[in-house]
Amino acid sequence: MKELKGKKALVTGGAMGIGLATCKRLLREGCEVTVWDMNPTALEDARRELSSLGTVHTHVCDVTDKPRVLELCRKAEADMGQVDILINNAGFVKAGRFCDHPLEDWERETDVNLTSMYYTIHSLLPGMYRRNLGHIVNLSSSAGLMGVADLAVYCATKWGVFGLTEALRYEALRDKKNGIKFTSVHPIFLKTGMFEGGTLNILGNILIPSIETHDEVAEAIVERGLKKNHHVIKLPVTLHLIFIARALLPDSAMNVLARIMGIGNSMSHWVGRPGSEHARR
């Protein structure tokens, strides 16, 4: 199991939800942590809370602003000496039929959920390569494993995150950089926060229950991802059923299974995080 004490971590979207819970766990492990978030009020609240746990640096950052991201990557390296752990957590969701929203909504979702990871990884991975040491954790989703109605672009970005993470892992292995690890994380709906109100039906929740707290995901990131180097983390573990079903069932049967589990209606009662751009307007 990997020792995290003394490691230097950068967490995007770290002022709320999964990001904040992950920062708390990293600090308790003895890490020094840099936190980015685009919400200055939430970031200040997080700074006050996290400062009691260890050394923390906070910066307001919209991860779609490439010059700002590159500037703050250099700042993180200067403040902490290096970045050993990168947690690409920042996310955005807009639910609804694909053609019922302007393209600008989908471009924004793509920029936050996927393109921003190009910026952080491209900036920080070379330093990890030089040291042959580092771990990049990219937040994907259960929607990165199976298509979900009313989440077409969200699914596209999270499938992209899955593929990006896997491809970078294989590149590092081919380059004999065995000290650099990559993990993608795929949680099902959380009951609070950005996906509040999203849920499968009764049968779907029996097979793949929703996640109760953000800390459940944070625990998996730290304990299974960073410490044990799990390449792909699915929450709950019954998400493995999707891969098994895809391998064994014809497409027509998969379509029936998706309807039976309520995947087509899972966003019908979505409200998102109240008071944020992730909430239904």
Residue among 35, 23, 36, 33 nearest 63 (CA)? 36
Distance CA 54, CA 171 (A): 34
Give the side-chain half-sphere CA count within 13 A for 48: 5
Q: Are 197 and 269 in contact (CB under 8 A)?
A: yes
Beta-carbon contacts of 265 under 8 Å, excluding residues fewer than 6 positions away, are 149, 201
Q: What is the largest CA-CA distance in the chain?
A: 54
**What element of type H or E holds 136?**
strand 134-139
Q: Is 118 a catalytic residue?
A: no
Q: DSSP strand E in 7-127: where?
A: 8-11, 32-37, 56-60, 85-88
From residue 165, alpha-carbon distances to 57, 170, 230 in Å are 26, 9, 12
At residue 31, what are phi and psi to the nearest 5 degrees?
-80, 155
Q: Are 69 and 120 in contact (CB under 8 A)?
A: yes
Which is catalytic among the residues 119, 129, 154, 170? 154
Beta-carbon contacts of 221 under 8 Å, excluding residues fewer than 6 positions away, are 18, 22, 25, 87, 137, 183, 185, 233
Q: Are 50 and 24 in contact (CB under 8 A)?
A: yes
Q: Are 106 and 149 in contact (CB under 8 A)?
A: no
- Catalytic machinery residues: 154
